[in-house]
């Protein structure tokens, strides 16, 4: 009697992309995008955005927020929620078209770098052969209603953290104390 052969496991497509994931070009693949039926969580991070160049700097905070909302509206991307934490930004977005994503993310990232550093600051970075953004934008597809709620509370915690509230206190305010005092 012959044994049945094991079929190779079919690898599920990756639902997250960018940031520390897939840094090397080898086997990078395409960024998973979702349109109409779902939403995405996108994070943009820069260690150059500190002090005067921070996204939370009082002179830049409202410029950053207005730019994100106005530019996204122009490109047909709906912002469901937005958190500015100083050196990084979290966006919960709804995309309507694959072609719009590239133009939107390129324009958004370059506009935010310009707001943060200014033209002269970006020229200095270019002369030093440095980049403003640490890595590619991190994106994650929101797959279920439960995942949607977790993302929503995560962004709310980051909003409070951006306002200066310590992360532990922000998590207690948003998620409640049940999470921290569970028994068994």
- Read off the pLDDT band of 37 (50, 70, 90): confident
Q: Provide the percentage of residues in the chain whose pLDDT is more than 90.
A: 22
Left (φ > 0), alpha (ψ -120 to 50) or beta: where does 129 sit? left
pLDDT given for residue 71 in this prediction: 94
Q: How many CB atoms lie within 10 A of CB 184?
A: 2
Rg (CA), the chain: 19
Q: Which domains does the chain have, with CATH numbers?
A: 31-143 (3.30.70.1290)
pLDDT at 76 over 50: yes
Say what the pTM is.
Answer: 0.77
């Amino acid at each position: 009697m012959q044994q049945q052969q094991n079929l190779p496991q079919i690898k599920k497509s990756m639902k997250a992309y960018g940031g520390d994931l897939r840094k090397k070009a080898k086997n990078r693949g395409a960024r998973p995008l979702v349109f109409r039926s779902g939403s995405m969580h996108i994070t943009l991070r820069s260690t150059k955005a500190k002090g005067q160049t921070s996204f939370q700097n009082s002179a830049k905070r409202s410029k950053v927020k207005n730019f994100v909302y106005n530019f996204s509206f122009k490109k047909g991307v709906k912002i469901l929620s937005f958190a500015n934490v100083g050196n990084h930004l979290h966006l919960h977005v709804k995309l309507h078209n694959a072609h719009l994503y590239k133009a939107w993310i390129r324009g958004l990232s370059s506009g935010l770098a310009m707001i943060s550093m200014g033209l002269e600051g970006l020229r200095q970075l270019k002369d030093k052969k440095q980049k403003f953004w640490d890595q590619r934008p991190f994106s994650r597809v929101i797959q279920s209603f439960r995942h949607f709620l977790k993302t929503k509370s995560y962004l709310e915690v980051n909003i409070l953290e951006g306002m200066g509230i310590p992360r532990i206190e922000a998590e207690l305010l948003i998620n409640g104390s049940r999470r921290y005092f569970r028994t068994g």
